[in-house]
Structures are given as structure tokens and as C-alpha cells.
Chain A
Amino acid sequence: MSETALAAVQKPTAEVPAIRLRRLTKSFGETNAVDGVDLDIRQGEFFSMLGPSGSGKTTVLRLIAGFELPTSGTIELEGQDVSGKAPFERDVNTVFQDYALFPHMSLVDNVAYGLRVRGMGRTERRERAAEALGRVQLGKFVSRRPSQLSGGQRQRVALARALVVEPKVLLLDEPLGALDLKLRQQMQIELKELQRSLGITFIFVTHDQEEALTMSDRIGVFNNGKIAQIGTAHEIYQRPAGPFVANFVGTSNLFDPVVAGRLYGRQEQFVVRPERLSLSWDRSAAMHDGVASLPGKVTSIVYVGHATQVNVALEDGPAVVVLVGTELPEGEQLLGRDVTVSWAHRDAVWLPGEA
């Protein structure tokens, strides 16, 4: 993570961005699906657009691809304004959520499609398509139809089809959404490696925060058609810019300004991540410097495999989630027990302004 953060810092800032969005707005009737988005995506970057459904991330992707035209604002591709251009006039390609493979064509014809409409001869384009399929481990299946493939294989064909025409930017619309967990994790790694080796800019839309955190150089978190925060995975997770980001990316324990005022004398919200909270199974507060603690009662316990999630209702404070990595005390009644929750002051993340 620190490596990608460094790489991002070292990039020359004068470089023309792969994609530049300025005051980009898209309205459907009364609602603004995308509301004045400004965004620069760097050359060769793996950029994720993260947000809940309806946050406008997919619409931004469709605007970049040209399937929708903006209500106002501009889209630049490598410094060229493409805002009003048709999809076939833009040097970007899309991997669709449902892959959108042509059902009446074999795999090789699917992949060769982009070359065919560019006027490349039959033999050459089929050769290139077969090569591209080979690169995604589907070399044996060239003459199959999409319906004869599994979800993961279709996903690879969609990738090969989009990449064979060598786009400047590849757009991926929740491409892993339909895959099961194991396959998804494997594809995350493959996609990331592919992007690194090709050096093409990837714009990846997802609602899965874990996916965004693992794969991306930078992440833009979307909410209500606006970008709530842009930053590296580390920045987004450790220093969320507001309560929305804090809650959407990972679980956060949000403390209101009243509690903050009592503990720190500062009338602002702050959050502490569940894994940064520690729990002692009695009322003995750890009274040393740099640590805050509050008493509470255990309300529920959820075993999540690598740890246990303990929900605690704090007295004079919110209900919080504590992630306990060690074994719980055995053979005792834990529910309803009086406990103390504490955290280091430096793990409290202050959220500016908005309530």
C-alpha cells in the first residue's frame, strides 16, 4: 500500500491526465445522478470509483464511455475534449457488468470484433484475437460460444475483447460482481497484475470497499452524485474526510461532538476503527497517558473467523463495535457484562465540519 502511495507521489504533476472531468453533471429529469464532478485520473493509474448504488459512479463511467451525454461539464481524454463524441469515436473501452458478449458469435469472433469494425482482414484479426484469448488462458476455447462458458471465463473474454483494440483507458463496470468469492479474489489479483504489465489506465467501478482497497492506486468515493473523497486506499481508510466515507469504507465507530467535548474538549465528531479499540473485561480503565476509555455493557458477540466482533453499548456514548483478535475468556457469561473500551488518542480520526 505504501509502495503505491509513493508511486502516486513521485508521478510528475505536469503530465496530461488520462481522464479529466470538469464540473461534470448529468441529470435524469429532476435528479442529478452526477452533480458537478471534478476529477483527474492519471496515466497508467488503477483508479476505483467506490460508492453505494445510486451514488453516480456508474453514470460517470457511462459518461466517459459515451453511452450518456453530459447535461453540462466536460470530459477530456488525454487533453482532448470528447464530451460530445459518440462511443465509437472515443479511445476508451468498457468491460460490462454482465460482460455483454455477442451470443451469436464464437469467442474468437467476439474478441476480433473491434478489429473487424476497424477494417482489419479476417486472418490477421482472428490471429490477434486467438493470441489475446491465449493470454487470458482461454486459447483452447476459441470456437466456443459465450453460452458455453462459466462466469469467470466470460469475464476473461470481455477483458480480452476490450484490450485487443489497445484502448488508452479501460473502463470496468463492477466486472467481478457476478463471481463467487474465491474467484473474485483471484480475479482481483489477475486484474491488478494485468493493469501493471500493460500500463493502461484502468477505471474500476465497484460498491465493494474491500475490492477497491486491495486493487487501487487511488480511490474516489462517491455519494449522491458527488465525490466525497479522493485518495489512496491508506488515506481513505485511515483518514476519512467525513462521516459518509468513514462509514462506507470499513466499519467505523462514530462519536458525536458531545462525547468528544467531554473527552477532548473539542466539539467535533471523531471515529475510531473497530480494530483500534481494545476491550478489558472489567471496569478497570487503563489509566495511562494517550489513552481514552469509556465503560459499557456487552450487547452481542459475533464470531467472524479471524476475530470476534463484540458489540458494546457505552454509557454516555454510542454503541460501538470492537474487533477482538485474541481468545475470549472461557466459560463465563459474557453478554451483559460490564466492560471498558479504550483507544489511543492518535487512533481517533477527527471528521471536519459536516454533521
Chain B
Amino acid sequence: MRLSRSAKTILGIMTALVLLFIYAPLLLVVVNSFNADRTFGWPPKGFTLEWWGRAFDSEGVREALVNSLWVAVVSTVISLILGTMLAMALQRYKFFGRDVVNLLVILPIALPGIVTGIALNNMFTTILGVSLSMWTVIIAHATFCMVTVFNNVIARLRRMNGRLEEASADLGAGVFTTFRLVTFPQLRSALLAGGLLAFALSFDEIIVTTFTIGAGDTTLPIWILQNLFRPNQAPVVNVVAVVLIVVSIVPIWLAQRLSADSVGISAGRARARAAVK
């Protein structure tokens, strides 16, 4: 489609405004983490690394960071295994209720976090009778992190030439050898992309976490929430926020570069919504 000059200009300006509206506040947080003024006076009178130093010295922040990384890594690993298995089952085999299962798998990402959180909290404490801990957070995160892996893998499987696996079997390879030598290498970049998205999704999650985390445990977002209204902690909160932004954005950027075709979170959400309608 060809656009007229004025249309191009208008669209360019609109794009710039929207992006500015999204990223200016984030940039402000980043700048303020270096702002020498405790009350974040604008424009900054000077820059300092003091807040960064304070953040790294803080035991609470360090513990929250380690917890967040641990939760994100483990729930990503669980998502990779379960998401891949689900995608293969739903793509390869026809069975009664396949479409329903497909919908049920992608639904968690569209569900409001507060509902998922309350439901899981209920399930853990009253029905299963387990005490809340980092593990309950990991399980809760895996329920929706699995979706990004599932979406990426199923998209790849749909595009993959089914003859490749037949050729492998034809040449004498059993089911597991075929998966290891042919299917897995074809899925590798989709798994990486899906895994990175899952990691990012888990790392900055707060709502479901609030309802499933044990008393006294913190993740980075929980730490921010707890310290948000303590005026003397405000500069350190800014630093933690910046860490959160960077650790969340980098995997998503990598995932995008890795597979132009990968189905991201937004697409997953859109699909889930479309399916609900």
C-alpha cells in the first residue's frame, strides 16, 4: 500500500507520540535512580551512584532478587517441559476434546491475575493444605508462563515439515531418537524464545505472587510494593524498578530477535480472547 506524504507524516507523529507516552515515564524512573536529590526535584541538580550502592548493600533487595531469579528460572523450566509436551500432543494427535484442551491451555494468560491468585491461594491453603512458599509461587507462575512456550512451539510445529520425522523413522530411528536428532533441533529457537518470554513474565509478576507467596518471603516486585510508601526507601525503590525493567526487557528483545515468527505474549492474549468470544 502506498501512502501519501501527509499521511506518512501524520502516522509518523502519532507513532512518536504514543512511544513517547509509553517510554518517557520509564526513562524518568531510570534517570531518577541516579538523581542526587532525594525528593527527585526536576531537572536533576546532579547525579549519584549512591542509591545503586545502597540497593546492592541492602540484604532485603539481594534476597528478593535471588528469589525472583529462582522463581523465574524454575517456572521457566517447568513451562518448557510441559508447554512442549502439550504443544506436541495438541498438534500431532487428534482426539476428543482437543479444541477444548487447546483453549484451556492458553486461557490462564487471559485470566485476571487477581482471580488466578485468589483461586490458587484457596486451592493451596484450604484444599491441598500446603503452606505458601516460593514453591507455590513457582507453580502459580508456571500456569501462565507455560502459555508462551506452548504458543511458540505449536507455531513452529505447524510450520515444520512433517515429512522430516517420517524420514527419520524411515531411516531407522525410534521415537526418542527422532525427537532428539530431528524434532528438538527444529524447535530449539522456538523454545528459547518461549522460554525467555516465560522468564520475563515470571520475573516481574506481582498479583498472582501476592496471593501465593509465603509470609516473610519476597520477590523484587513484592519488595517494591512493601517499600513504596516508606519515604526514606524511595530512591532505592527506583533502583530496584530499573533492575526489574532491564531484566524483563532484555529477554523479550532477545526472544523477538531469535524468532521473527514466534508468537509473543500479546498474540497469545489476543488468541485467548478471540477464543473466549
Contacts and interface: CB of A to CB of B under 8 A. Distances in A.
A88 B182 contact: no
Contact of A117 (B166, B172, B186): B172
Given A88-B174, A96-B163, A117-B177, A102 B169 contact: no
B166 A67 contact: yes
Contact of A104 (B163, B169, B171, B185): B185
Interface of B: 161, 163-164, 166-174, 177, 181-182, 185-186
Given A103-B186, A113-B173, 13 more contacts: A65-B166, A88-B169, A88-B172, A93-B171, A96-B163, A100-B163, A103-B164, A104-B185, A113-B181, A114-B171, A117-B171, A117-B172, A117-B174
Contacts of A100: 161, 163-164, 166-167
A346 interface: no
Contacts of B164: 100, 102-103
B182 A94 contact: no
A65 B170 contact: yes
Interface in A89-135: 92-94, 96, 98, 100-104, 113-114, 116-118
B161 A98 contact: yes
A324 to B, nearest CB: 45
B172 A86 contact: no
User: A-B pairs with the 6 shortest C-beta distances?
Assistant: A100-B163, A114-B171, A87-B169, A100-B167, A117-B173, A104-B185
A351 B132 CA distance: 83
A116 B172 CA distance: 9
A26 interface: no
A8 B20 CA distance: 80
Taking each of A66, A101, A103, A117, which has the highest tally of chain B beta carbons within 10 Å of its own beta carbon?
A: A117
Contacts of A162: 170-171
B172 A165 contact: yes
A103 to B, nearest CB: 8
A161 interface: yes
**Interface size bracket, A side:** 20 to 34
Contacts of B166: 65, 67, 87, 94, 96, 100
B161 A161 contact: no
B182 A102 contact: yes
B172 A104 contact: no
Contacts of B167: 94, 96, 100-102
Nearest to A96: B163
Contacts of A102: 164, 167-168, 182
Contacts of A165: 171-172
A5 B182 CA distance: 43
A354 B143 CA distance: 64
A269 to B, nearest CB: 42
Contacts of A86: 169, 174
A67 B164 CA distance: 12
Contact of B170 (A93, A98, A104): A93
Contact of B186 (A65, A98, A104, A114): A104
Interface string A143-180: 00000000000000000011001000000000000000
Contacts of A114: 171-172
A68 B119 CA distance: 45
A104 B182 CA distance: 8
A308 B27 CA distance: 79
A66 B173 CA distance: 13
Taking each of A88, A96, A116, A165, which has the highest tally of chain B beta carbons within 10 Å of its own beta carbon?
A: A88
B170 A87 contact: yes
19 contacts: A65-B166, A65-B170, A67-B169, A86-B169, A87-B169, A88-B172, A88-B174, A96-B163, A98-B163, A100-B161, A100-B163, A102-B168, A113-B171, A117-B168, A117-B173, A117-B177, A118-B172, A161-B171, A165-B171
Contacts of B161: 98, 100
Nearest to B173: A117
A96 B170 CA distance: 10
B172 A94 contact: no
Nearest to B186: A104
Given A98-B163, A100-B163, A117-B177, A88 B186 contact: no
A124 B167 CA distance: 22
